[in-house]
Amino acid sequence: MEKKQVISINEMGGDKMLVENLYFKDMNIVDEIIDRKVPKIGQNTTIQEITHLMIENQQDVVLIVKRDGEKEIPIGFITATDVLKIHAGELTLDVLIDKFKGQTFCTVKEKEQLKDIVRKIKKHPCRYMPVIKNDKVVGIVKSEEFMKLYKLYKKLLRKFSIGFKNVLDNIQDAVCIVDKNAVVKFWNKSSEKLYQLKRSKILNKPISRFFPQALLSRVIKEGKPYENVYNSPRKNCHIIISARPLIEDGEIVGGISSDRDISEMIELSELLNKTKTSLQVLKQEVSKIHENMHSFSKIVGKSPKIQEAMNLAKRVARSDISILLTGESGTGKEIFARAIHIESGRKGCFIPINCSAIPKDLLETELFGYESGAFTGALKRGKIGKFELAHEGTLFLDEIGDMPLNMQPKILRVLEDGVITRIGGDRSKKVDVRLIAASNKDLEEMIEEGRFRKDLYYRLNAITVHLPPLRERKEDIPELINKFLKDFSIAHRVPIPDIPERILKILMDYDWEGNVRELKNVVESMVILSKNDPCIDESFLPDRILKASKNNPKLALDRGLGLNTIAKNAEKDAIMKAMKIAKGNKSKAAELLKIPRSTLYFKLKQYDIIK
C-alpha cells in the first residue's frame, strides 16, 4: 500500500484539538540545525592539537570518535570550557575521556522522524547529539536548538490542525475520522446535521455503538476502500458514502469517511422523471395543436386565387418534389411552407432560414455546419447545420434570390445527391430533406442579369406556387381582419372591438403594399389603441391609410361628406389654426376668429380640441 497518511491518528483529540501531535513525513529539522564542521578526534589526540582544531575551525566543541574499521563510533565531546580547565590544571584529558566510558550516547540519524528524536532526548538528556549517516559521523546537533525549533514547529502545526478542523467543519459532506479501533476521533458539523447526532455524544466512542453497520468498521477490518455506497438511514433520507483506510508506515491507523446527502437530488430526479413523462404527453398535444395551427385549414381566404394556390400546394405536398413559392413580401409564403410540411406527413422538423437575414460569410456555416476547430472562433464541439437539423423533414429557404452566387452550386449539389459535408470536415453525410424555396424577386430576370444560376432555378422550379397580393384578393380582407382582431384581443387581454362598415370600407379600398403582414400589423395597432373602447374609431387608423382614403373621391362620398359635415370640418380646421397662431392663448384666438370667448370655449370642447 502507498504511504500517503500524514496525520498521527492515535494522537487525535476531540473538540479540544483535531490533531495533538501532527507531523510531516518529509520534514527534517536535523538538516536545518546540523553543524557539519565540528572536528572529529581520536582518543590519543593531544590537548595542543584539540586547541588548534577549535581555533582553526572556530568551534567550541570537538567530537571524540572511536574507529572500528570503516565505522565511526562517537564516545564523547570536549568543549572549550573543558580545554580551559585542562590548561589551568583543573582537569586532565585522560580523566575527561574516561568519564564518557560506560555512558549511553544519544545519537540521531540524518533522516530520523521528529517524534523519535524527541523521545531519545527525553530518555537520555544530552547537550550534543552526533548525527550518523552510513556508519559515519557527519556532524552534531545541539539538543537545545533542536527542542526550540521543534516547539516552534509544533506550535505552527497545532495552528494548522485548528484550520484543518475548521475546513472539515465547513464542507457540505459529513466527515468522520476513526482510529485503528474504529473509535470516533472527529465528527464534523455536517455529520451532526445529517445524522442528528451531536459531536460530544459520539467522540471517543466506538462508531459501531451508534451505527452497527458502519462502513468505517468494515474498512478498518478489511483494509480496503469503498466508493459511493448507497445508504438510507431513515425514511426519505438518501446518502452516498465513500470510506477509505488511513495508512501509516504500512499499517492501518484509522479510517475516514465522507457521506453526501443526495435526498434532494433523488427527489429532483423523481420529479424530473414525472415531468419528462408529462412533457412527452404535452409535446404530443402541442404537436397536434401546432399542426392544426399551421395546416391549410387555418389559412384564411375564399378568393379564387388563394384557393387555387392552396389546391396546387395540397396536391404536391405528399411528394418529395422541390417547391418554389413566389409572391410579394408579406403574402404568407412561410405559412404556406409550414402547411405543405404538415400536409406532407414527414416526421422530421420544419427548419426555416432567411437567406437575406444572415451575413454572406456565415450562410454556409448555418446551412452545412462545421467541425471543431474549423476556423477561428468556432465552437469546440462544432455546430450542426440546418440541412442536418431538417433530416427527414423540410428545409425552407426564404428569400432564395438573396443567396450569394458562390453558395448556389453547393445547394444544387445537395438537391441532386442528398449529401452534405460540414465545413472543416472530411466525412460526407446523407440527408433526407425536402426543400421549399421562396422569393419575392423575379428570379428569371435575375438569371438574365447573371445574379442567379439557371440550373438551380430549374431544380427549384419543379413546382411553382404563386401567392397573390392582398389587393388582388380584397374579398378576403374582412375575414382576415376578424381573425386578427380576435387573436390580438386575446393576446393583449382586451375585449374584441367592433369594426364599423365605414372603417372596413377604408381598409378594403387601401392598396396594402405590405400585403397580409401590413394588414396584420395595422389590426394589432388598432386593438392596442382601442383599449377598452367597444368600437374601432377612424382615429385608430395610421395616417398613410387616412390620407389614401381622403384622396379617394369614392370613399369621400361613401363617408357622407355633405354640406353640414364640410362646414363642421372647415370650422374645426379654422379653430385649430387660430389656436396655433395664438400659441394656445384662447382670448387672442377668439379675437382672430371674431367670436366671443365663451363661444370659443364651447367649440373647443365640442370638437375635442382641448380637453
For the segment 242-290, what is each residue's pLDDT rounded down to a tens digit?
A: 899 988 878 888 999 988 888 777 777 777 777 776 676 566 555 555 5
The three-state secondary structure class of 432 is coil
Rounded to the nearest integer, the mean pLDDT of the chain is 82
Confidence (pLDDT) at 18: 40
How do strand 239-248 and strand 251-261 relate by DSSP bridges?
antiparallel
Partner residues linked to 435 by β-bridges: 395
What is the structure's pLDDT at 2? Answer: 38
**What is each CA distance from 131 to 26, 77, 112, in whole angstroms?**
18, 13, 10
Query: Distance between CA atoms of 128 and 471, rounded to whole angstroms?
Result: 113
In this prediction, residue 467 carries a pLDDT of 94
Superfamily of domain 171-261: PAS domain (3.30.450.20)
Grid cell for residue 268 = 429532483
Residue 573 or residue 328, greater confidence: 328
11-150 to CATH, choices 3.10.20.30, 3.10.580.10, 3.40.50.1820, 3.40.50.2300: 3.10.580.10
3-state secondary structure of 452: coil
CA gyration radius, the chain = 49
pLDDT of residue 564: 60
Q: 471-558 adopts what CATH topology?
A: Helicase, Ruva Protein; domain 3 (1.10.8)
Residues, the chain: 611
Looking only at the bridges linking them, the beta strands covering 383-384 and 393-398 are unpaired
Return the C-alpha cell found at 197. 447526532
Cell readout for 420 is: 452534405
Task: Say whether pLDDT at 292 is over 90.
Answer: no
Question: In angstroms, rounded to a whole number, what is the distance separating the alpha carbons of residues 420 and 270?
Answer: 41
pLDDT at position 26 = 46
Structure confidence at residue 103 as a pLDDT band (50, 70, 90): low
Please give the pLDDT value at position 20: 41
Average pLDDT over residues 204-230: 89
Instruction: Quote the pLDDT of residue 409.
Output: 93
Domain ranges of the chain: 11-150, 171-261, 295-468, 471-558, 563-606
CB neighbourhood size of 452 (10 A): 23
The one-character DSSP state at 423 is B
**Mean pLDDT computed over 354-378:** 85
Tell me what the mean pLDDT of segment 83-97 comes to. 82
Q: What separation, in Å, do the N-terminal and C-terminal C-alpha atoms of the chain show? A: 94
| pLDDT for position 334 | 93
Mean per-residue pLDDT, 303-317: 93
C-alpha cell at 281: 404527453
Classify the phi-psi angles of 512: left when phi > 0, otherwise alpha if psi is within -120 to 50, otherwise beta. Answer: left
pLDDT band at 313 (very low <50, low <70, confident <90, very high): very high
- May I ask the CATH architecture of the domain 563-606? Orthogonal Bundle (1.10)
Instruction: Judge whether residue 211 has pLDDT over 50.
Output: yes
Of residues 447 and 569, more confidently modeled: 447
Model pTM?
Answer: 0.48
Per-residue pLDDT band for 519 (boundaries 50, 70, 90) equals: very high
Which pLDDT score is estimated for 276?
A: 72
Q: Which fold has domain 295-468?
A: Rossmann fold (3.40.50)
Q: Which residues pair with 248 in a beta bridge?
A: 251
If DSSP codes are grouped into helix, strand and coil, which group holds residue 265?
helix
Residue 78 near residue 64, CB atoms below 8 Å: yes
- In whole angstroms, give the CA distance from residue 186 to residue 150: 26
User: pLDDT tens across 121-157, in order?
Assistant: 777 777 788 888 888 888 887 777 777 777 777 777 6
* DSSP secondary structure code for residue 404 in this structure: -
Confidence (pLDDT) at 323: 95
Q: Are 128 and 140 in contact (CB under 8 A)?
A: yes
What are the angstrom distances between the C-alpha of 438 and each of 14, 251, 298, 338, 410?
Answer: 78, 79, 20, 12, 18
Question: What pLDDT, in 10s, does the model give residues 431-480?
Answer: 999 999 999 999 999 999 999 999 999 999 889 999 999 999 999 999 99
pLDDT tens for 5-45 read 333 333 334 434 344 443 444 456 677 778 788 888 887 88
pLDDT for 459: 92
In this model, does residue 393 exceed pLDDT 90? yes
User: How far apart are the C-alpha atoms of 105 and 76, rounded to whole Å?
Assistant: 8
**DSSP alpha helix (H) spans, 131-226:** 143-169, 189-195, 199-202, 215-222
| Among 342-356, 367-381, 386-400, 467-481, the least confident range | 367-381
